[in-house]
Amino acid sequence: MAEINSYTVNFGPQHPAAHGVLRLVLEMEGEVVRRADPHIGLLHRATEKLAETKPYNQSIGYMDRLDYVSMMCNEHAYVLAIEKLLGVTPPERAQYIRVMFDEITRILNHLLWIGAHGLDVGAMTVFLYAFKEREELMDCYEAVSGARMHATYYRPGGVYRDLPATMPKYRSSEFRSEKNLKQMNEDREGNMLDFIEGFCSRFLVTVDEIETLLTDNRIWKQRLVDVAIVSPERALQLGFTGPMLRGSGVEWDLRRKRPYEVYDRMEFDIPVGTNGDCYDRYLIRMEELRQSVRIIRQCVSWLRRNDGPVMIQDHKVAPPSREEMKDDMESLIHHFKLFTEGYCPPAGEVYASIEAPKGEFGAYIVSDGANKPYRLKLRAPGFAHMAAMDELAKGHMLADVVTIMGTLDIVFGEVDR
């Protein structure tokens, strides 16, 4: 038999652990990875070029489709950049709503991540726990925007509309008994804030349950501890942000260091790792779930006490209400101009970034004064993380590649854009 020193394995593009469409060319020596060459771009939709051909507001929907598990955070960065360019600040209530939904989005993202990561590494149950909770949060998305995922809820100047007074309820059907139905609708009797508050207390129990399943689990630790160790210096060199950077012990969180919206009024802790391995990053993300709940609770209590507008009244940027439009000529003109042409921000260049669940998500807009961005560049955290794949996987076993993919928290919508 011929002596085979090294061979190449094609991992993906259709592979459940590839988290979407990644073609990973692995040069193996036995079971040890010598070189990993990710071929990305299979989901490239030229979002940035599409945005160049549309008025600013029409691209908000594209942002949801970038990192399609943390939808509103992407919108947030884009909308912040536009607001910076226009020089408008959303009303306080809108800022609180945005912060609340950013954190809801963080929970959504981390839940999908823990579900998929667990599944990759062999823990099936976590996936089911996580998705059960995700469903409730998606109901919040739906209640507020009408869409379960691609919300297009944040707009320059605020949010599309105020929180609904009632939470949508399950309807009776022949497959549900009255008793069951009542039980399912128990949390949905009040308004949306009641529902979110109820979710928060229930969810902390779920986080503990997930941790019980994993944190001290022998198999989980065997798969994660000491895999893909990144030193703080390397993490900075490689352009890591978010939990990937904090896992290596660098305390860097834009919510604290460069507070946007009302994060400076929020109380929360930033978990930081010590070893920089997959297990640390797991612990950090689990703690972030709890911290997000903390922030959401603060937002809920503020939103309960304070009413007010959720959109600025400048009709050069934000459309007037339907009622105004029906009996005021000026409003009708504003409405028409906004939806056929949009607004023209001044010429200039801005960069706005937020702490998305995966790291720093930024939007860089070059404007030449037209109603469309001249150039839009999106800084996706996953792109930098994916680029480090070769360095992280080198010297590890083939099975660890799956763990590393999980810990990177990759979503190809944002990597490929």
**Residue ranges binding another protein (CB under 8 A):** 40-41, 44, 46, 48-50, 52-55, 58, 84-87, 234, 236-239, 241, 245, 250, 252, 257-258, 316, 340-342, 344-351, 360, 362, 364, 366, 368-372, 374-375, 377, 379, 383-384, 386-388, 391, 416-417
Least distance from another protein to the Cβ atom of residue 54, Å? 7
**Cβ-based nearer residue to another protein, 115 or 345:** 345
Nearer Cβ to another protein (85/100): 85
Phi, psi for 364 (deg, rounded to 5): -110, 120
Q: Shortest Cβ distance from residue 18 to another protein (Å)?
A: 17
> Where is 407: in which H helix or E strand?
helix 398-408
Number of other residues whose CB lies within 10 A of the CB of residue 7: 10
Taking the least distance from each CB to another protein, the nearer of 223 and 379 is 379
DSSP H/E element including 389: helix 389-393
Tokens of 184: 């399912």
Mode of pairing for the β-strands spanning 375-379 and 359-367? antiparallel
Nearer to another protein, 234 or 394 (CB): 234
Q: Which residues contact 135 (CB under 8 A, 6 or more apart)?
A: none
- In sequence order, which residues have a C-beta less than 8 Å from that of residue 26 and are 6 or more positions away? 8, 9, 10, 11, 33, 35, 36, 37, 393, 398, 401
Question: CB of 297: closest distance to another protein in angstroms?
Answer: 27
Tell the smallest beta-carbon distance from residue 241 to another protein (Å): 8
3-state secondary structure of 377: strand
Q: How far is the CB of 136 from another protein (least distance, A)?
A: 34
Bridge partners of 25, per DSSP, are 10, 37
User: What is the nearest approach in angstroms of another protein to the Cβ of residue 240?
Assistant: 8
Q: Token digits for 391?
A: 């360095």
Residue 182 or 316 having the CB closest to another protein: 316
Q: What is the spatial distance between Cα 98 and Cα 269, in angstroms, rounded to a whole number? A: 19
Which amino acid is located at 394 in the chain?
K
Give the nearer residue to another protein in terms of CB position, either 152 or 248: 248
CB closer to another protein out of 370 and 398? 370
Residue 87: CB minimum distance to another protein, A: 7
With CA atoms as reference, report the closest residue to 148 among 159, 156, 157, 138. Answer: 138
